[in-house]
């Protein structure tokens, strides 16, 4: 049985669109690089969502969300308040799914946002076309450190993102938790 089918239409839509909305929010908060940056950031967002399904293949929820998110309409990604939607969704996910599924979903959302933040960095492209999973796994490792720091550990310092992007990602991580 599909995990997404266990959610109401409202929460299914929030779950599928949240990675896109977080990527968009990260893209908008630090508007450097112009139109060229926007294109790279959108491409990184879609690529990261696809790779999340591969890298979180043991999470049925992430795989289902990723599949629907890449097919979702990317219009009006600034709808509503992402933080209140994330908090509300977290409560629903926590009630319905295992803690591992919820943790993987939170990581995926932050990984997508991080990929967008790092898409237009000064020292070249994030993605290695020959091994894009390697690039995504680098983000995955940094996000694990980042999330650990958000929840009381030592926050990873080499995210190569701006303070404004860091704030968005920290606020989303907190919204997708019981903290």
> Number of structural domains, the chain?
1
In a domain, 1, yes or no: no
| Full domain range(s) for residue 104 | 9-175
- DSSP letters for 65-94: HHHHHHHS--TTTT-S-HHHHHHHHHHHHH
According to DSSP, residue 5 is labeled: G
Q: Which residue's entry shows tokens 């890298």? A: 55
Instruction: Say if 44 falls within a structural domain.
Output: yes
pTM more than 0.85: no
**Is the pLDDT at 141 greater than 70, yes or no?**
no
Q: Is residue 38 part of a domain?
A: yes
Residue 105 lies in a domain: yes
The pair of structure tokens assigned to 75 is 């219009």
Distance in angstroms (rounded) separating the CA atoms of residues 56 and 140:
10
- The pLDDT tens digits of the residues spanning 44-98 come to 788 889 988 888 899 999 999 999 999 887 777 777 899 999 999 999 999 999 9
């Amino acid at each position: 049985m599909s995990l997404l089918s266990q959610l109401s239409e409202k929460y299914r839509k929030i779950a599928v669109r949240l990675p896109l909305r977080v990527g968009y929010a990260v893209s908008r908060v630090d508007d450097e690089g112009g139109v060229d940056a926007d294109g790279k950031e959108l491409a990184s967002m879609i690529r990261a969502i696809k790779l999340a399904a591969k890298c979180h293949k043991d999470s049925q929820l992430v795989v289902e969300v990723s599949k629907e998110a890449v097919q979702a309409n990317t219009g009006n990604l600034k709808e509503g308040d992402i933080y209140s939607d994330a908090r509300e969704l977290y409560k629903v996910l926590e009630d319905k799914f295992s803690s591992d599924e919820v943790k993987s979903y939170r990581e995926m959302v932050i990984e997508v946002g991080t990929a967008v933040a790092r898409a237009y960095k000064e020292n070249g492209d994030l993605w290695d076309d020959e091994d894009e999973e390697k690039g995504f796994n680098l983000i995955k490792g940094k996000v694990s450190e980042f999330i650990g720091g958000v929840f009381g550990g030592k926050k990873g310092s080499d995210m190569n993102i701006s303070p404004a992007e860091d704030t968005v990602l920290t606020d989303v991580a907190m919204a997708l938790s019981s903290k």
